[in-house]
Structure formats: structure tokens, C-alpha cells
Amino acid sequence: MSFFKSAKDYDQSLRGRSLLPKEISLANLKKAQENNKGKNHWLYGKKHTEETKAKLRAARAKQVNVVTKHSEEAKQKIRDARAKQVFSDETRAKMSKSAKNRPPISDETRAKLSITNNRVYTYYTPYGTFNSAGEAHKVTGLLPQTIRKKCDDPNNPDWSRNLTNLKNRAIV
């Protein structure tokens, strides 16, 4: 209020309006929502200019994707929490039903998955040589994704993996 010379000036600047939000009844809220739909919406039928689109893109590029910026400690906490997670029978039934209602995989996607899934790696670790990350997991106790990360990390020279030809691989 120091900006105004007196309380009278302050009151006149508001012209009877309150700076604090008023409580809105549910009926009035619904009415306001209906009045701002479709053709009544302030942006209905308008398009952003190319200049505005460029500004929006630039602003979006500056935003940090919080999901991918977790620290290793935070990631480990998330992993531990998910490992302990137990779903109720009702939730499992819902997940099953949802999975069964997914659209079928296209032939093109199926071909891509086949190429990806038929890649076979040989894992070289300080604990020995393994035909799969799962096999290495049984011996080392490390999760398969941890083993893959260690093998792909250039800071771990003792860990590596090489793509192996499926035909030359002995199936155990």
C-alpha cells in the first residue's frame, strides 16, 4: 500500500474489486467451463504465427526434462521401491485386461522386434564369460540391466560385451 498516498487512493484503484480470489460455487464453475468451450473459447479458429511457434519451440527447448535428470541415488531409490511393489489381484486383473485389449502388432514392427531380439551378446566380466546378461546375473547377483550398463561403459575396461553370431553359438 506504500505505492498509494492514502487508503482512499488504494480503494479507488480497485474500484470495488477485490485482489483476493472469490470462492466460486460449483454451479458457477460449471457454467464458466461451458461458456469457454468450442466456438466461445478465446483461441477458437485462431492459428499461431510462425514467429510465435518459433518462440514456443525455443521456450520448450530450454525446459529441463526432470524425468531423465534423476541422480543415480534417486534412480536406485526408485528401483528399490518398484522392486518391493506388490499389485493386488484386482489390479493385476485390470492390467491383464488392458494388455489383452491392445491393438495387434503390425508386421513391420514385428520384423523390427525380431531383428532386435535375435541379437546375441557374449558378456565378458571380471567374474567370467557369459552367454547372456541373465546368466551373468545368476553368478554376480547384479541386475541384467546393470551388467549391460557396466559392459557399455568405457570407464569399466574389465566389462565388455560383443555381438555374437547366433549360428555359431552353442545352445545350452
pLDDT tens by residue, the chain, 172 residues: 445 555 555 444 555 555 545 667 888 888 888 888 888 888 888 899 999 999 998 888 877 664 567 888 988 999 999 999 999 999 999 999 999 998 988 988 888 887 777 778 889 999 999 888 888 888 888 899 999 999 988 888 889 988 876 555 444 3
Task: Specify burial of residue 125 (Cβ count, 10 A radius: 0-12, 13-18, 19+).
Answer: buried
Q: What is the pLDDT of residue 79?
A: 92
The ranges assigned to domains in the chain are 120-168
Q: What is the pLDDT of residue 18?
A: 53
Q: Which three cell numbers stand for residue 149?
A: 550398463
Intra-chain end-to-end CA distance of the chain, in Å: 82
pTM above 0.85, yes or no: no
| Burial call 75-103: b when 16+ CB within 10 Å, e when fewer | eeeeeeeeeeeeeeeeeeeeeeeeeeeee
Q: Which three cell numbers stand for residue 171?
A: 545352445
CB atoms within 10 A of CB 164: 14
